Structure 1
Amino acid sequence: MSAMKDRLTDSLYGLGWATVKKLPEPVAAGLGRRIADTAWKRRGKSVLRLESNLARVVPDATPARLAELSQAGMRSYMRYWMESFRLPTWAKERVDNGFDIKDVHYLKDGLASGRGVILALPHLANWDLAGVWVTRSLGVPFTTVAERLKPETLYDRFVAYRESLGMEVLPHTGGSAFGTLARRLRAGGLICLVADRDLSASGIEVDFFGETARMPAGPAMLAQQTGALLLPVTLWYDETPVMKGRIHPPVDVPESGTRAEKTSVMTQALADAFATGIADHPEDWHMLQRLWLKDLEERVPLDEGRAPRDEERPLGDERAPLREGRAPLGEERQP
């Protein structure tokens, strides 16, 4: 039964890439809205979890307002998928005209300095589109990390897709990703990590909209070890086909404190930047999973002296569709 489900999942994604990218853009956009509205009306676990998360972001929202936001959120979520299925067909001009980002000088100046740059993003709008803009419009390659998920064929499909867009994708398997990312940064390169949700047992506790959440330590640790510039990025959609974004001021390494203390301070600074963008555009935050510690099931702590498993290593989350609940209309995945 599991093998059959895996084959079905892979087939559905394959159908999406093969079919949606051939549709005229207005047709694909309309299809995405219809799928989103159908999912929203079903009131499944993912929609209810999205509303629960949004209730923390917009604490004074009425039930009607939360329902309105969750419907807009599902439409934004499906817009991500429709765009992602079609990105391989977009010409450079379409990419240039499809993304407008503020304060890009932080990124350009950081790369020009030769010190390496880490872009850390939350699950806002379309990470893949921002990545394509970096590789095609700026002409800058970058490296990211993908967990090796089941089915293996779907993982391979996503890696091939992102590599076709100019991204270097490192597998989590084997524990070598952190070292490779550090080498890329020391060589003056660029890495990008989606970093608002910890998938490990070793994340950093942060205050996030007034409650405790856990976020990955990887971005802060890499910045400390390599001297790279750490830049938070937030994205959002508006009423036009253009996605917008902002590169926030650098998160500096504190001058004093232990490594753990510095990592905590820096990760909190990332969380604060993410919260600013999410509060301004809550409907574009695609968090359909449990995030705050109050909502998470208890996890078994690491055995004393045992090396962390690959999934417990402190790297960012990268929008893998199954582990993150990114499967369209999928049920919520437990962390």
Structure 2
Amino acid sequence: MNVAAVFTFAWRNATKVPEPVLRGLFTVVADVTWLRRTKSVRRMEANYARVRPDLDAAAVRRLSRAGMRSYMRYFREAFTLQGVTPERLLARVRVEGYDEHVRPVVDGGGAAALALGHLGNWDLAGAYGSQYLASVLTVAERLKPDELFEEFVRFRSSLGIDVLALGNGDVLGALVRGAKEGRKLIPLLSDRDLASTGIEVDLAGHRARVAAGPALLGLEAGVPVHAVGINYERLRGARRRAAGTPWGIVIRFYPPLPVPDAGLPRDERARLLTQGWVDQVAQTIVEHTQDWHMLQRVFVADLGPARQRSAGGQETG
């Protein structure tokens, strides 16, 4: 299957399909995938079981069905997001904590490093941020084939999001320069250690490897680091009619993390900042587990021997 061609076709044609039809189609895809209990579904269930030890196997299985529906909802919304009007975009998003914790920094000419998990719809959050909050600069995983990655970049650029490619030159340096320009939000999806150079932390009671990016950006650029949690919520009444869909998202900006003592080693400062945002994002993961679209290995116990050995030392770039 030519994945790039499929995604390109979807981005160009999904807006032509009535919303209820598209919603039903993606729900069927989610349910069929869940029933087949593919490798990705099994990994999702294993991750869910770790963060929700209060659930038995049957409950985790039910939760993974909601998780697959949430995951497919993300894709359905992504394929139609370019056609969403500013008014509908506004109706689909509810924000908590931005005015208290982040707006004073951005309005004052500064920037903020935002640590995100694969929660809810981060592209919808980015589109909302670029439209209503501040300029958005982020990093994207380089996907294969190249045509698919280029489509993702074009998609996010169409939403007003500036995108840097992970592994393409000095990404951290580019982020630091962007932060120093000011008036920017720099959200980084960081609950996976894509480069195998991340930081080991405690995530909901289990050792996990996450990206060092938010912490390093905060330290190098001297900007505050904030955790951000995103989850879906049901819309009703006037807001649902205005949004044109039964689902919206909540974007929760957590307070800025304390700046670690400058006398500590750089690696330790990065570790403290990283553990801080992980603790906060974990709150959203535990409370809205079905919206955590984690279909890959993130916990140290699930990594291969080579990755486990590298987890013993903290490489922070």
Partner of 1:322: none
TM-score (norm 1): 0.85
The question of 1:285 aligning with 2:292 is answered yes
| Partner residue, 1:296 | 303
CA contact (8 A) 1:175 1:313 kept: no
Identity %: 41
The residue type equivalent to 2:210 in the other structure is M
1:33 is aligned to 2:27: yes
Match of 1:19 in 2: 13
Aligned to 2:274: 267
Counterpart in the other structure of 1:93: 87
Offset of residue 114 of structure 1: 2.2
Matched residue of 1:199: which SS?
A: coil
CA distance in 1, matches of 2:279, 2:298: 15
- The residue aligned with 1:180 is 174
Distance in 2 (alpha carbons) for counterparts of 1:26 and 1:230? 39
Contact 2:66 2:290 in 1 (8 A): yes
Offset from partner CA, 1:191-234 (integer Å, 9 cap, x none): 11001111122211101121111111111111111111111100
**Pair 1:197–1:173, CA change in 2 (3 A):** closer
Which residue is 2:238 aligned to?
Answer: none
CA RMSD of aligned residues (A): 1.6
1:149 deviates by 2.7
Tell me which residue corresponds to 1:213.
Answer: 208
Q: In 2, distance between residues paired with 1:155 and 1:184?
A: 22
Change (3 A) 1:14 1:243: same
Task: Kindly provide the amino acid, as one letter, of the partner of residue 244 in structure 1.
Answer: V
Unaligned runs of 5+ in 2: 236-246
Report the CA distance between 1:61 and its aligned residue: 0.7
Q: Deviation per CA, 1:44-77, whole angstroms, max 9, x where unpaired?
A: 1011111111001110212221111000000000
The two structures have a TM-score, normalised by structure 2, of 0.90
- Indicate if the aligned counterparts of 1:212 and 1:292 stay in contact, CA closer than 8 A: yes
2:306 counterpart SS class? coil
Equivalent in the alignment of 2:74: 80
Matched, 1:254 2:248: no
For 1:22, the aligned partner's letter is: K
Alignment of 1:96-175 (within 5 A): 96-105=90-99, 106-138=101-133, 140-175=134-169
Q: CA deviation at 1:160?
A: 0.7
Q: Distance in 2 between matches of 1:265 and 1:176?
A: 24
Residue matched to 1:70? 64
Q: Is the 8 A contact 2:51 2:205 kept in 1?
A: no
Does structure 2 retain, via aligned residues, the 8 Å contact 1:184–1:190? no
| Alignment correspondent of 2:239 | none
Higher percent of residues as helix: 2
Q: Which residue does 1:326 correspond to in 2?
A: none
Structure 1 position 162, deviation (Å):
0.6
Cα shift readout 1:219-272 (whole Å, capped 9, x = no counterpart) = 111111111111110011122222112100111221241111111111001110
| Letter of the structure 2 residue corresponding to residue 84 of structure 1 | A
Q: CA deviation at 1:313?
A: 8.0
Q: Deviations over 1:76-127 (max 9, x none)?
A: 0000000000000000001000010111112211202323111111011000
SS at match of 2:144: coil
In structure 1, what is the Cα distance between the partners aligned to 2:108 and 2:264? 26
Give the distance between the partners of 2:270 and 2:10, measured in 1 at CA. 40
Corresponding residue pairs, total: 298
Gaps of 5+ in 1: 303-311, 315-335
> Deviations 1:302-325 (Å, cap 9, x if unpaired)?
8xxxxxxxxx985xxxxxxxxxxx
